[in-house]
Structure 1
Amino acid sequence: MDADDPHANPNGSVVPSSDAVASSAGIAAVDLFCGIGGLSYGLASAGVEVVAGIDVDGSCKFPFEANVSGAQFIERDVRDVTAEDLSSLWPEGATRLLAGCAPCQPFSSYRKDVRPSNDHRWELLNEFGRLVEETQPEFVTTENVPRIESKAVFAEFVAMLEDLDYSVDSDVRRCTDYGLPQNRRRLVLVASRVGTAAVPAGDQSDQPSPTVRQAIGNLPAIEAGSAHDTDPVHRSRGLSARNRERMEASTPGGTWRDWDEQLRAPCHRRASGAAFKNVYARMEWDKPSPTITTYFHNFGAGRFGHPEQHRTISVREAAILQGFPDDYRFVPDGEAAPLTTLGRHIGNAVPPPLGEAIGRSMLETLIGAGNP
């Protein structure tokens, strides 16, 4: 947090905004690891008052504050956040929600099942647990990759909640059930001290899955390496001459096995690479997209080729497939959209439709427990 931040003071503690002392009867949320606001935007859409987001990455400040109305962004490592900091942010009289979707990379299936000695992200769920123990808010939620369910750190987190007399529910859900046009599976946990917690069921589970065509089929065409004149976020990465040839040889739903032999990369010829069919590949119009990762702008990193145009999907298209509205502001007016930064932001985000479902579930729990 810099010296010009109105929410900082000389000793580095968080200073509440003027709104933080107002009386409120609803749910007020503080979002740890908030990123660019995917979860917060969804919670706010459900009617939850998001008062603050906290993240160590200062580049998330603009998109978070530009889209999550009334919420302040606090640049802070969660390990330096105290119970007093959080208590100063929640409005007086509000039902408190602490959200903490810690980075998922340590538990991703793309990584070996080994904890690197220098990867401190493994500790972040414990830091979230520390703040839950110290503040004991009425509601808690977290979201992560399904693989974390089998890790000791998650079992310890659940046990801590239960020891504090929280009602706890967790389940792995398909995001298509919440209207997301993407085959994304996430572990969702909700905990409550004011009623029975329930991971929200998607309201579209009995309907056909949303498709890539429905989500991005109406966006204007652009060339690889260019951006649209009126939307700098509708921008795709450039292609090398060889990758342009590979893109032109690729068909929706196909694999690199369909290419001529001379187009195949050295890794495709090795036995270890033969099983990786969903790289250097195109999406299909009439199916959900694959999971949007932080590398969606890289043709070689997955099935991220546009179904029709000779390019990878744009930043705007990836954001829409993640459930962000098509007018979500990622950069200030007049600024270019940095691919690597926004790729990290969007790929790491909690899809807003999932956040909205979580927020509605907690409001229903609150009402069901006889609270206003």
Structure 2
Amino acid sequence: MTPCCVDAFSGAGGLSLGLEQAGFSVLLSFDNDAMCVQTQKMNAKYFDHPVLQANIDEMLNGGLLKKTGLEVGQLDLLAGGPPCQGFSVQRIGDDQDDRNDLVLKFVRLVEEIKPKIFMMENVRGLAGKRGRQYLAGAMQSAENCGYHVHFTILDAQDFGVPQRRQRVVVIGERLIEGEKPNFSFPEATTPKGHRITVREAIGWLPPPPLNGKDHPDYVLHRRDRLSPLNKKRLVALKEGQGREFLPPELLADCHKISSDVIGHRNVYGRMKWDEVAPTITARFDSFTRGLFGHPSQIRSISLREGAELQTFPSDMVFAGNKVDIARQIGNAVPVRMARAIGKSLIYCLKLKDTGV
């Protein structure tokens, strides 16, 4: 039988897509963001399962079991990436951010429905100095109800994704008495020397129209409007260069004070053609927020190019305005990374079913 899974906090569906490519059948996905839910519904050929706008509180206390028709212990995999931005390394996090509680609620759902395996993807900072104790507490809660839990940090560039993107991946296997854990994290499919580059990922796309509209053949492939000052900055930069290469007259005022103290170094910059991209964030649509300038053209990368760097299908569309779409793309689990993890999960389930 095809193993089944539920995708919690599904966002734009990157995790669901990867798990289906690995061999899972997605029974249901849910997210409380209306734009994310609409995106999946607009792409019905990729998401042919029920997609619900709901928060995790609605899935607790029997909610998920009722919606799926499953009984406790029947689900093969509960997967999800509960938002935990308070520990994000991309900005100064807030340990008290309410979104951090979603990890504990995810574990509560695990305890309640008892899937054979659970998988949680999250920001790297969750395993850092501030997040480590919080992560350990969540893992201990799962271990207390019969799961063998371990985690690692995976980098998306090792799995066919053309960007540096380190994420914590937590796996929990439900063990019966005497059973040994079977899961092993996936080995790199594109190790150093074999990475997918920016050129391979987006170099095939033609320049977007100058009028700011979508390219007629590629949805969401359009130019963002740049200020005259930002155009000058892009002209001054070569590929791979950031704001530290700008002449003083083109620096932002905050960077003129002290380049070592104020602000991130890798902003106001360009990507490099023959390397992987930097992490695609929820604001990759803005040249000022990172090395999100096109390697050779006078523009930031388009929404379509961001989706390509996250390994979404080239014909996938997204709901909402520019900010909504960038957030959905930037927050997603890259499809190819999800597929690699999914294949390891499938193998683990086969071993459990055969009693090896």
State the TM-score, normalizing by the size of structure 1. 0.86
CA contact (8 A) 1:293 1:348 kept: yes
Query: Is 1:283 the counterpart of 2:264 in the alignment?
Result: no
Letter in 1 for 2:188: G
**What residue in structure 1 maps to residue 240 of structure 2?**
253
CA contact (8 A) 2:84 2:103 kept: no
Letter in 2 for 1:303: L
Query: Is 1:160 the counterpart of 2:148 in the alignment?
Result: no
Instruction: Determine the C-alpha separation between the residues in 1 that align with 2:300 and 2:84.
Output: 24
**What residue in structure 2 maps to residue 359 of structure 1?**
342
Instruction: Determine the C-alpha separation between the residues in 2 that align with 1:26 and 1:77.
Output: 27
Letter in 1 for 2:266: N
Alignment equivalent of 1:188, drawn from 166, 169, 177? 169
How far did 1:371 drift? 4.2
Query: Is 1:37 the counterpart of 2:13 in the alignment?
Result: yes
How far did 1:203 drift? 2.0
Alignment equivalent of 2:2, drawn from 21, 26, 29? 26
How far did 1:77 drift? 1.6
Q: What's the CA shift string for 1:106-148, capped at 9, x where partnerless?
A: 11123435434xx320111011111111111111000111210
CA contact (8 A) 1:126 1:153 kept: no
Letter in 1 for 2:207: A
CA contact (8 A) 2:89 2:125 kept: yes
Partner of 1:267, secondary structure, is: helix
Query: Is 1:215 the counterpart of 2:193 in the alignment?
Result: no
Instruction: Determine the C-alpha separation between the residues in 2 that align with 1:110 and 1:62.
Output: 27
Moved more, 86-95 or 47-56: 86-95
Instruction: Determine the C-alpha separation between the residues in 1 that align with 2:224 and 2:87.
Output: 28
**What residue in structure 2 maps to residue 107 of structure 1?**
87
Letter in 2 for 1:266: D
Partner of 1:292, secondary structure, is: coil
Alignment equivalent of 1:322, drawn from 284, 298, 310? 310
How far did 1:158 drift? 0.9
Instruction: Determine the C-alpha separation between the residues in 2 that align with 1:64 and 1:358.
Output: 21
Query: Is 1:64 the counterpart of 2:40 in the alignment?
Result: yes
Q: How many residue pairs are counted as aligned between the two chains?
A: 341
Instruction: Determine the C-alpha separation between the residues in 2 that align with 1:355 and 1:91.
Output: 26
**What residue in structure 1 maps to residue 119 of structure 2?**
141
**What residue in structure 2 maps to residue 88 of structure 1?**
66
Instruction: Determine the C-alpha separation between the residues in 1 that align with 2:192 and 2:229.
Output: 43
Letter in 1 for 2:326: G
Instruction: Determine the C-alpha separation between the residues in 1 that align with 2:152 and 2:293.
Output: 31
The alpha-carbon distance between structure 1 residues 243 and 226, as it changes in their structure 2 partners (threshold 3 A), is farther
Letter in 1 for 2:134: V
Query: Is 1:294 the counterpart of 2:261 in the alignment?
Result: no
State the TM-score, normalizing by the size of structure 2. 0.89
Query: Is 1:97 the counterpart of 2:97 in the alignment?
Result: no
Aligned alpha-carbon RMSD (Å): 2.1
Instruction: Determine the C-alpha separation between the residues in 2 that align with 1:207 and 1:257.
Output: 28
Instruction: Determine the C-alpha separation between the residues in 2 that align with 1:339 and 1:362.
Output: 35
Query: Is 1:229 the counterpart of 2:209 in the alignment?
Result: no
How far did 1:47 drift? 1.0
Instruction: Determine the C-alpha separation between the residues in 2 that align with 1:219 and 1:286.
Output: 16
CA contact (8 A) 2:85 2:100 kept: no
Q: Mapping of 1:192-207 within 5 angstroms?
A: 192-193=173-174, 195-205=181-191, 207=193
Instruction: Determine the C-alpha separation between the residues in 1 that align with 2:110 and 2:305.
Output: 36
Moved more, 223-232 or 55-64: 223-232
Instruction: Determine the C-alpha separation between the residues in 2 that align with 1:103 and 1:236.
Output: 29
Instruction: Determine the C-alpha separation between the residues in 1 that align with 2:139 and 2:51.
Output: 28
Instruction: Determine the C-alpha separation between the residues in 2 that align with 1:371 and 1:61.
Output: 37
**Residue ranges of structure 2 left out of the alignment (5+ in a row):** 176-180
Letter in 2 for 1:181: P
**What residue in structure 2 maps to residue 123 of structure 1?**
101
Moved more, 344-353 or 221-230: 221-230
**What residue in structure 1 maps to residue 291 of structure 2?**
303
Instruction: Determine the C-alpha separation between the residues in 2 that align with 1:109 and 1:187.
Output: 12
How far did 1:236 drift? 3.1
Letter in 2 for 1:193: R
Instruction: Determine the C-alpha separation between the residues in 2 that align with 1:274 and 1:283.
Output: 22
Partner of 1:233, secondary structure, is: coil
Instruction: Determine the C-alpha separation between the residues in 2 that align with 1:323 and 1:88.
Output: 33
The alpha-carbon distance between structure 1 residues 223 and 270, as it changes in their structure 2 partners (threshold 3 A), is farther
Partner of 2:5, secondary structure, is: strand
Partner of 1:51, secondary structure, is: strand
How far did 1:207 drift? 4.5
CA contact (8 A) 2:23 2:342 kept: yes
Letter in 1 for 2:149: V
